[in-house]
């Protein structure tokens, strides 16, 4: 090898400032999102992925949460809607009540049903939610939170229980079981600083989308008959006998 050739082969590569800048440029977190794990090809930043998971877990998001997930969903709803549409889900945002939740789209094609459908509510849960919806509507525009106490819940159920069939203790057991479901699973009763008193969630009107108060009262009246004739509700307000999904009440 000649001396000139050796010198050329050992010469440093020419510095290209544009190439160097391209290699050192950080990933655009707002456009591409971070690479969160090896092989990650997702395009959403961590905050939006977390919001998407929270929506999918359900049952809803509200502005009262301390981590501002609701605001993240509202500010980035178009990006989220694209991904949710691919799962046959639609994003519902009530900006007046500051609540966001998911609903399955209605399609007759195979494999388009919701990924995780909530089971229909028991008769007791249905009664309580209908009464809670009436209380919430009375507080609309007052600036005050709608609350309900354990004793109020017991009294609601006592009005629909045959005294000759169930004693007071069994009514309390029914009330406590329904409260646990509405607090822990449905999150439609929110804790307060007072024992045995809960705030009624603003998400309830989206769960029971009645447009007329008279419709609620009419449905409550149907719950006063025999248990076999009583339709329970799914969280979208659909009578359970119209769901036909083969699930037992939760």
Q: What is the pLDDT of residues 23-54, one digit of tens each?
A: 455 556 555 566 888 888 888 888 999 999 99
Q: Is the pLDDT of residue 206 over 50?
A: yes
- β-strand pairing of 99-104 with 89-94: antiparallel
More confident residue, 88 or 228: 88
Which pLDDT score, from 0 to 100, does residue 154 have?
92
pTM metric for this prediction: 0.64
Mean pLDDT of 125-154: 88
Q: Is the pLDDT of residue 69 over 70?
A: yes
Candidate from 97-111, 191-205, 234-248 with smallest mean pLDDT: 234-248
Question: Yes or no: is domain 9-117 CATH 1.10.10.2250?
Answer: yes
Burial class (CB in 10 A: 0-12, 13-18, 19+), 169: exposed
Which pLDDT score, from 0 to 100, does residue 215 have?
62
- Planar angle of CA 10, 13, 17, nearest 5 degrees: 160
Architecture of the structural domain at 123-240: Orthogonal Bundle (1.10)
Cα within 13 Å of Cα(99), Cβ side: 15
| 123-240 shares the fold of 9-117 | yes
Per-residue pLDDT tens over the stretch 90-132: 999 998 888 999 988 888 888 877 665 555 677 788 888 888 9
Q: Residue ranges per domain, the chain?
A: 9-117, 123-240
């Amino acid at each position: 090898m000649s001396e000139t050739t050796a010198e050329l082969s050992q010469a440093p590569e020419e510095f290209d400032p544009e190439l160097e800048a391209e290699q050192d440029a950080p990933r655009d977190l707002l456009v591409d999102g971070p690479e969160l794990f090896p092989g990650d090809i997702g395009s959403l930043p961590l905050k939006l992925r977390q919001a998407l998971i929270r929506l999918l877990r359900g049952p809803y998001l509200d502005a009262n949460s301390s981590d501002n997930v609701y605001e993240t969903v509202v500010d980035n709803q178009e990006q989220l809607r694209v991904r949710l549409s691919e799962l046959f889900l639609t994003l519902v945002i009530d900006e007046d009540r500051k609540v966001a939740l998911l609903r399955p789209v209605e399609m007759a094609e195979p494999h388009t049903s919701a990924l995780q459908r909530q089971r229909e509510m028991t008769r007791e849960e249905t009664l309580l939610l209908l009464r809670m919806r009436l209380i919430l509507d009375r507080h609309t525009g007052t600036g005050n939170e709608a609350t309900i106490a354990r004793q109020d819940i017991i009294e609601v159920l006592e009005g629909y229980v045959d005294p000759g069939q169930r004693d007071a203790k069994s009514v309390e057991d029914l009330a406590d079981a329904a409260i646990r479901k509405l607090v822990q699973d449905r999150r439609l009763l929110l804790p307060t600083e007072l024992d045995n008193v809960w705030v009624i969630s603003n998400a309830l009107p989206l769960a029971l989308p009645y447009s007329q108060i008279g419709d609620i009262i009419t449905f409550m009246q149907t719950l006063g008959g025999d248990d076999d004739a009583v339709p329970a509700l799914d969280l979208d307000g659909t009578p359970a006998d119209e769901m036909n999904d083969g699930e037992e009440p939760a």
